[in-house]
A and B are shown apart, each in its own frame.
Chain A
Amino acid sequence: MAAFWRLDPFTAEIVHDYGFQNFKLLWESDVYRAITQRTILIAAAVTVTDALLAFPVAFYMAKVASPKTRNLLVVAILLPLWASYLVKVYAWRIILQEQGILNWALDPLGLSGPGFGNVATWLVFSYLWLPFMILPVYAGLERIPSSLLEASSDLGAKGPRTLWRVVLPLALPAIAAGSIFTFSLTLGDYITPQLVSSTQFIGNVVYSNVGVANNLPFAAAFATVPVAVMVVYLLLARRAGAFDNL
């Protein structure tokens, strides 16, 4: 609602009349468009990365590991999911910094870490939301009857082919469910970019407009962007059957 109000330029008071000027500014300004693009791109990259990393782990948990190992692994993935978000970002800040572990480990190889920036943001986001992807995918894979996999191999399909033609299509709704978390959490975040990068995300602009500039209407207008993106994303995910896997 507040998105349609505007800031009086002289008094810096919020004027409660309605108009689209905030949205117009958003659309016409290159800066804000670049920020929106960057946010969505990184959110997408993080989602893809997490799906790739999560799948083998989830598959191992669901189909290969013994029940005891499986329960252990579930707890092992669950605990860091709940461990303090801020502390995890901070840990990465220490790792990635100039004199941090990563540079120390890569130095003998003649390489250096990515430093702070978009790559760091992508890495940290992927790290943060990985458990949110593993658990739904694991739950989804667990529901696939093992007999289907056996049938596929009885019919002569090799491992990779079974994976591609049988497991993946069946696991897709679960991956979509996990991607809701990875995508939405990345869209709304502003702490991580602030700590491991100097570039801005939608969240940073919203935050500085509420806190520092006190321009609540503009912040609200910009905040509708991730909400709109999420609504579209949720509708797509629903078509992929993600809601039954949440």
Chain B
Amino acid sequence: MTSRAGTWLLRGATGLTLAFIYLPLLVILLYAFNTRRTLVWPIPGLTLKWFGKAIDNPGVRDALVVSVKAALGATAIALLLGSLAAMAVARHRFFGREAVSFLVILPLALPGIVTGMALNATFRNLPDPLGVQLGLFTIMVGHATFCIVVVYNNVVARLRRTQASLEEASADLGADAWQTFRFVTFPQLKTALLAGGLLAFALSFDEVIVTTFTAGADQTLPIWILSNLSRPNQLPIVNVVAVFVILLSMVPVYFASKLSSERTLVGAR
């Protein structure tokens, strides 16, 4: 039904939109090699010196360590809870099943600031013996709230495509619950878990909003960027860190998209 002119029009619109999406990322990339300290355009020349400075910067290194630890912790929590919830919802019927699947997905639809504030209020009002200091642990828990969703989505989609009869057959053949999980369910889920885990890592790694409410004095890499934006001296290093953060969040997602054929990558945050 689309005429020739229509096709070209659509092609042009798509090209323009892609340019709109990618140009700002390219701009950051260029500025990371900028010889000048200030962000004027056009840039006077290219240099690699800021990369060295960024690696030597203790603030950047501390933030990187916190970020990686938080992302790994959140991913671990999300993998465990997300896949358990997914298995319960996909394989069993129980009272409140719909409610569980709704509650797991809710953090996606809630504005980040609400999640952040709710967590902040909860952590601060915990009764004494359970009290926690805002820091690495609370960042992990905060990130896990929305990382669970991506793992859950991936695993549920996979479980819906595979049949429960395989697990029943395994049980009929005398395998106990653990053996069935280890040799039948897990191999089917492996790539879904890997994809979910990669996405969770990427999601956690560049989260800002929830982190500002749960981090306390600790800085993750995005928080470091945020707090250094207003310091003109630091801007060249910020550019380098920005490029690094882009790469570190895009590479896992690229692999995740190779791993999962399901359309479960849309719902971020």
Enumerate chain A interface residues (CB-CB to B < 8 A).
Answer: 2, 53-54, 56-57, 59-61, 63-64, 73-88, 90-95, 97, 99-101, 104, 127, 130-132, 134-136, 139, 149-150, 152-153, 159, 162, 180-181, 184-185, 187-191, 195, 202-203, 206-207, 210-211, 216, 219-220, 223, 226-227, 230, 234, 246
Contacts and interface: CB of A to CB of B under 8 A. Distances in A.
B201 to A, nearest CB: 11
Contacts of A80: 21-22, 25, 250
Contact of A189 (B40, B110, B113, B254): B113
A227 B106 CA distance: 11
B13 A60 contact: yes
A82 B253 contact: yes
A227 B109 CA distance: 9
A188 B111 contact: yes
Interface residues of B, number: 64
19 contacts: A56-B10, A60-B11, A83-B25, A84-B222, A87-B245, A87-B246, A90-B238, A131-B21, A132-B266, A159-B2, A159-B3, A162-B1, A184-B111, A188-B110, A219-B117, A220-B121, A223-B113, A226-B114, A227-B111
B208 A187 contact: no
Contacts of B205: 84
Given A162-B1, A226-B114, A87 B254 contact: no
Nearest to B26: A91
Interface in B10-58: 10-11, 13-14, 17-18, 20-22, 24-25, 27-28, 31, 38-42
Given A82-B268, A86-B208, A101 B6 contact: no
Contacts of A101: 27, 41
Interface in B103-159: 109-114, 117, 120-121, 124-125
Contacts of A216: 117, 120-121, 124
Contacts of B226: 86, 191
Interface of A is mostly: helix
A152 B1 contact: yes
B249 A210 contact: no
A191 to B, nearest CB: 6
A136 B108 CA distance: 15
Contacts of A61: 14
A81 B268 contact: yes
A74 B208 CA distance: 25
Contact of B208 (A53, A79, A85, A152): A85
A54 B269 CA distance: 20
A195 B229 contact: yes
